[in-house]
Amino acid sequence: MEAEGMLSDGSVRDKYLAEAANVISANCTVDGIACDVSSTEVLREPFFSAKLLRLIGILSEFRLQRDMKCIIFVNRIVTARSLSYILQNLKNLPSWKCGFLVGVHSGLKSMSRKTMNNILEQFRTGKLNLLVATKVGEEGLDIQTCCLVIRFDLPETVASFIQSRGRARMPQSEYAFLVNSDNQNERDLIESFQEDEQRMNIEISCRTTDEKFDSPEESVYKVETSGACISSGYSISLLYHYCAKLPRDEFFNPKPEFYYLNDLEGTVCQIILPSNAPLHQIISAPHSCMEAAKKDACLKAIEQLHKLGALNNFLLPERGSLEEELAEEDCIEPEAEQGSRELHEMLIPTILKESWTSTEDVVLLSSYYIEFHPVPEDRTYKKFGLFVKTPLPQDAASMELDLHLARGRYVATKLVPSRMSAFNRDEIVQAQNFQEMFFKVILDRSELTSGFVHLGKNGFSKSSPTFYLLLPVILDGCGNEVLVDWDIIRTCLSSPVFRSPGDMKVEEDPISDTHLLLANGRKKITDVENSLVYAPYKKIFYFITNVIPGKNGFSPHKGSEPPSHMEHLTTTNNIDLKYPKQPLLRAKPLFQLHNLLHNRIKEKSEYLELDEYFIDLAPELCELKIVGFSKDIGSSISLLPSIMHRLQNLLVAIELKGLLSASFSEGAEITANRVLEALTTENCQERLSLERLEILGDAFLKFAVGRRLFLMDDLLDEGELTNKRSNAVNNSNLFKLAVRSNLQVYIRDQPFDPFQFFALGHPCKVICTEESEAAVHNVSRSSVDNPNSEMRCSKNHHWLHKKTMADAVEALVGGFIVDSGFKAAAAFLRWIGIKVEFGESQVTEICAASSRYMPLAASVNIATLEKSLGYSFHHKGLLLQAFLHPSYNKHGGGCYQRLEFLGDAVMDYLITSYLFSVYPKMKPGHLTDLRSALVNNRAFANVAVARSFHKFLISDSSALSEAIEAYVDFVQAPAKEGGFREGPRCPKALGDVVESCMGAILLDTGFDLNHVWKLVLSFLDPIMKCPNLKLNYVRELRELCQSYNWVLEFESSKKGRAFSVEAKVSSKDVSLSASACYSNKKEATMIASQKVFANLRAQGHGQKSNSLEQVLKHSNKEEAKLIGFDETPVDIATADACEPRGRVYDPQHYSLKRVGDRTPPPCSSSSSTKSQPSIALRASAVIHQRSARTRLYEVCTANCWNPPLFDCCFEEGPSHLKSFVFKVTVEIEDSQSMTLECFGNSHTRKKVAAESAAEAALWYLKHEGYVL
């Protein structure tokens, strides 16, 4: 200080503080690592200590070394944070990228285990090369490339000295201590560490002493099945670890609480576990000290938690195991959750595979007329029929299908059953040849360009996947029966292209009125009309409708203006007509085959007529190919592949329905069309898909499985219930169950490709066998991911996503719900291997057990709460439990979390049912987004505020009360017009209590969803009418930017405990940004996106596709329905019958009577005044027998009363026969004070006399409701 000249102490202090403030910002004092102060420049004393300056010097010396990594060890958390902050802001150390590492129990919310592992990974990969760590980094930090370790603070033990040095793993690493040169104690400490280490090394290499260390024996609990064991000493940390895994929120941190009682035999430790643990309290045996009692109690707690199933056989918290739900062999690998595909064979309908033989003299086939009704009627279609060996099932025999053409036009088709048709040998061959012929025309027309095509050269093909015939037909006189149009078939098959050259007669006569000269010879005009020709100069096939008598090669090409047809051909094609006087042919180009199952009709659009396109052709430029093959036949056969593809899929669905019906009776209750919908994915691009059914089935599956888990084991906490349900309903398990049930062969997952349509007459040329399967389907990953590039083989293999198979299971569940109900859906789930059944007694037992919460009725106005809720409970205890926050733990355990789990599941299903029924035409993506907007904590929290549920919440957290109060004030404050209200963070407890209420009502009604449905409708009505319905603005903004090819970026930073997110949209024409600050990063991103989205909309930039908001505004709404509920509610007994034996609580008024009003106990007692009890102890069962005094201490501790006082009030008799009488005094702290005094019987031993008094007090408390 003297070196600074004549400055006063005050000026030096002021200067120091001013400059130091620039170095250490206020951000260092909050929980976070983000900082925005400028780099430091004042690197001298007194603003920086000599130790810190020396550290900076060391880092400067090593900064230029390649791949340098350094760890600095300090002893305090604040030192680690401050030092890291300073080092990362020094301008002269830019090469060092610094972070800090402290323990997960340091009290910093930002330092979670995930954050800690992330920091270590960054240090390993080189994103960070300087780490400031506390002693948490001394062990287990295996950084092979660390070459510099600095002890900023000296180690406290020799173990710390050795372990921290061991972090320097590189050869020629450096280990440095920062020691004050004038501090001899620090220098001596280092020398002492070195001497101790040398002694340890000598002792290890050659033992020099026979000293033994006798450790005190500790009790051990061992699991015989696994061999896992734990000592009483380590049981303390395990108990903390177990509690840390329990469900928590920001206002509830589950951890054990320890209380110590001085018993006559020693110290007793009582452990009170968190309210959501399956075990509420444990009492140790008396021990000589508090530490021993604590270990004993913890070991007993671990034993009991293991026996209850809360700890697995390895004594670890049980999370995520199916156990009894699925056998071990049914569990699948985690990779099944990934988007990988597997090769599976698609089922071909058995009916269509049944063939006839070529040796049969007469073949009888079932016939079906295919009706065509074009809308509008702008085309003519030749009548066709379907002929199969086995009659079609009723659902398929009358199949109706709309085929979609261009410009909104469509053809309504329908199958109409007809009589059996008989085919002789020649007819069956002709029919097969005709089918082969028209498949060549529409699928493989390249063969028809040659002069001769051989039909039936392979004879009767057994390799065909299906056996059916599609033939032109005529109706009989009554129009009820179909007859094969053999005239057309034989005319077509007699065409020159199907006759060998030796059988053809060459006619060289000149042109006449009845003949034309074509490129392949002289043909009759009657043969040319309504036939198929080929124009080699255009390489196109044409349907010829008629000959144009008044038009020839000299006629104008277009209208009445030159050039003529002949001149046009000469100019454009360099062709000179030899016979220009021949009349021209009116021709329609042969169509390209299309998938007509696509949905080309837009909602509310009108169809438009489309004129047919014709051109005029010179006959001498055309080759006659198929006589009698008119455009009307062509129009019909263009529809047939799409019809047969849908029929095959429908027959597959019917086969699956038959399998389900044979397996369980409810399987017959679902329609074949619904099964088909559940088997058809969105990739098929048809008017039906499984996605809407999947959404409904997914919601029911979670509800049904969650309900069973909730009822089967009342010891499972919310986290365990969620994990077990997830294991049962996740895609991985559903995929395994689908494959086990062989459902994958029924699923349709590719759009119909007409050019890979195979049938009799057009078999697949890619033959797939077990030996060639790998080679046939050995495609690149890119082609596997693109279903349109798949190669179809003779075995009908296709690639399926594992998730697709899981989706199909959920869609089938949804199909059963829509067509039949819950019972049928549950039967299907049982068939596939998911258990959802439960017993009625389980429901009644849980309702009866809820009476344990009745002592809390004094703190809640139940009548007012029921009025606000709109439901009157039979079991008031369920209502009280529904409002019991886990932070409250003065009642013997239990909270609303399990009811919240049940309520969340039923709310999810009911809201899904609401949306499914109200918006029947809404796309699945919009349906999912809308459900997310309704099923979220903020929406439920607003319902809680509107109904004043927060006033009845029972909690023991002042922070929660303050957060709720702030949020309620924000919600109830009038909204600013046009402004964004970020407001305080929504406490999760507000939304949770709505879900727990629904769970409580569901139980109280015996799972009668109709009651809950009415309440959900009343909840949804204000939410749906809210103009600020919380949409997913992040998604809306992304879709808007994608439609305009704008660049969207999000930049986030953390300032203290809040996140700041800036959303930027940029392009050539648009540059816009907005920011938001919130305690939650996801919420901040949502608010920023909402601001930008609103600004873009205000500037006139609307989405090219309808947003969810627009869809919701213009969607037609129908009446809301509860879909599928057909279960019989459980008959819940009356409240009196459900109460456990003992006292029945009246929530309005119940007083504590004097002992004199009852039958006296074995010993006397007295009370000083009457009182209403506020809380009754609901003690967990204690496994080992305890003394009455210990149990009385336990009662007082649980109720937060003062410890009982024992006093020897009377003794008599000689010294060797003296007897004693003890009195115990218990102060019951209620709204009115009451002191209970109980006297025991006379005994010769003081201990027994005190026990007698304690038993008297316990008897009284039990009969007055303080002990259940």
Model pLDDT for residues 363-384, shown as the tens digit of each residue: 999 999 999 999 988 889 999 9
145: domain CATH number is 3.40.50.300
Cis peptide before 46 (omega within 30 of 0): yes
Q: For residue 386, list its beta bridge partners.
A: 368, 470
Q: Residue 17: what pLDDT? A: 61
Q: Quick one: tokens of 371? A: 């009706």
Query: Which band of pLDDT confidence, cut at 50, 70 and 90, is reported for residue 606?
Result: low
Output the 3-class SS for 490-548.
HHHHCCHHHCCHHHCCCCCCCCCCCEEEECCEEEEHHHHCCEEEEECCCCEEEEEEEEE
Q: For residue 270, list its beta bridge partners.
A: 259, 283
> Rounded to the nearest 5 degrees, what angle is found at the Cα of 587, between the Cα atoms of 584 and 593?
165
725 and 806 together in one domain:
yes
The maximal CA–CA distance of the chain, rounded, in angstroms, is 156
Q: Residue 39: what pLDDT? A: 43
Distances (CA, A) of 1173 to 456, 762, 1152: 97, 87, 7
DSSP annotation of 445: G
Distance CA(584)–CA(533), nearest Å, equals: 13
Q: Rounded mean pLDDT of 466-485?
A: 88
As a residue count, the chain comes to 1268
707, 1007 in Cβ contact below 8 A?
A: yes
Q: Quick one: tokens of 174? A: 């450096």
Choose among 543, 529, 533: nearest CA to 633: 543
Q: Rounded mean pLDDT of 864-877?
A: 93
Q: Residue 1232: what pLDDT? A: 57
Q: Rounded mean pLDDT of 1095-1102?
A: 82
Assigned domain for 1239 exists? yes
Q: Rounded mean pLDDT of 494-505?
A: 75
Q: Residue 702: what pLDDT? A: 97
124 and 95 together in one domain:
yes
668 and 647 together in one domain:
no
Assigned domain for 817 exists? yes
Q: Residue 998: what pLDDT? A: 96
Assigned domain for 583 exists? yes
Query: Which band of pLDDT confidence, cut at 50, 70 and 90, is reported for residue 202?
Result: confident
Read off the amino acid at residue 901: F
Of residues 43 and 622, more confidence is placed in 622
- The rounded mean pLDDT for the chain is 82
Q: Residue 337: what pLDDT? A: 42
Q: Rounded mean pLDDT of 4-14?
A: 51
Cis peptide before 974 (omega within 30 of 0): no
Structural domains counted in the chain: 5
Q: Rounded mean pLDDT of 633-649?
A: 95
Angle between helices 691-712 and 840-849 (to 10 degrees): 60
Of residues 977 and 1264, more confidence is placed in 1264
448 and 589 together in one domain:
yes
* Other C-beta atoms lying within 10 Å of the C-beta of residue 1242: 17
Q: For residue 1224, list its beta bridge partners.
A: 1206, 1238
Assigned domain for 207 exists? no
Assigned domain for 889 exists? no
Query: Which band of pLDDT confidence, cut at 50, 70 and 90, is reported for residue 441?
Result: very high
* Other C-beta atoms lying within 10 Å of the C-beta of residue 536: 12
1089, 1030 in Cβ contact below 8 A?
A: no
Does the pLDDT at position 980 exceed 80? no
Q: For residue 403, list its beta bridge partners.
A: 411
Q: Quick one: tokens of 430? A: 């002709």
Q: Residue 141: what pLDDT? A: 61
684 and 804 together in one domain:
yes
Q: Residue 1095: what pLDDT? A: 87
Q: Residue 511: what pLDDT? A: 64
Does the pLDDT at position 487 exceed 90? yes
Q: Which of 785, 811, 838 is the last residue of a domain?
A: 838
504 and 418 together in one domain:
yes
> Rounded to the nearest 5 degrees, what angle is found at the Cα of 486, between the Cα atoms of 483 and 489?
130
Does the pLDDT at position 389 exceed 90? yes
Q: Quick one: tokens of 1226? A: 């218990």
Does the pLDDT at position 679 exceed 90? yes
Does the pLDDT at position 309 exceed 90? no
Q: Which of 716-720, 735-739, 949-953, 971-975 has the lowest mean pLDDT?
A: 971-975
717 and 629 together in one domain:
no
Q: Rounded mean pLDDT of 167-196?
A: 83
Does the pLDDT at position 1169 exceed 50? no
Distance CA(603)–CA(609), nearest Å, equals: 18
742 and 831 together in one domain:
yes
Query: Which band of pLDDT confidence, cut at 50, 70 and 90, is reported for residue 271?
Result: very high
Query: Which band of pLDDT confidence, cut at 50, 70 and 90, is reported for residue 360?
Result: confident
> Rounded to the nearest 5 degrees, what angle is found at the Cα of 929, between the Cα atoms of 927 and 933?
115
Distance CA(365)–CA(1143), nearest Å, equals: 79
Assigned domain for 986 exists? no
Q: Rounded mean pLDDT of 788-811?
A: 84
Assigned domain for 944 exists? no
Read off the amino acid at residue 1153: K
Query: Which band of pLDDT confidence, cut at 50, 70 and 90, is reported for residue 413?
Result: very high
The residues that are catalytic are 904, 995
Assigned domain for 1063 exists? no
Q: Structural domain of residue 303, as residue ranges?
A: 222-318
Q: Rounded mean pLDDT of 940-955?
A: 92
- Grouping H, G, I as helix, E, B as strand and the rest as coil, residue 123 is helix
Q: Residue 118: what pLDDT? A: 83
Evaluate if pTM is beyond 0.85. no
* Other C-beta atoms lying within 10 Å of the C-beta of residue 383: 18
426 and 489 together in one domain:
yes
Q: Residue 215: what pLDDT? A: 56
Of residues 1180 and 401, more confidence is placed in 401
Distances (CA, A) of 26 to 30, 36, 1076: 8, 10, 22
Q: Which of 681-685, 824-828, 1153-1157 has the lowest mean pLDDT?
A: 1153-1157
Query: What are the pLDDT digits (tens) for 1238-1258?
Result: 888 888 888 888 888 888 888
Query: Which band of pLDDT confidence, cut at 50, 70 and 90, is reported for residue 538?
Result: very high
Q: Residue 536: what pLDDT? A: 94
164 and 264 together in one domain:
no
Query: What are the pLDDT digits (tens) for 34-73?
Result: 444 344 455 667 667 888 889 988 898 887 788 788 999 9
299 and 363 together in one domain:
no
589 and 679 together in one domain:
no
Q: Rounded mean pLDDT of 850-875?
A: 91
Choose among 788, 795, 805: nearest CA to 774: 795
Q: Residue 509: what pLDDT? A: 55
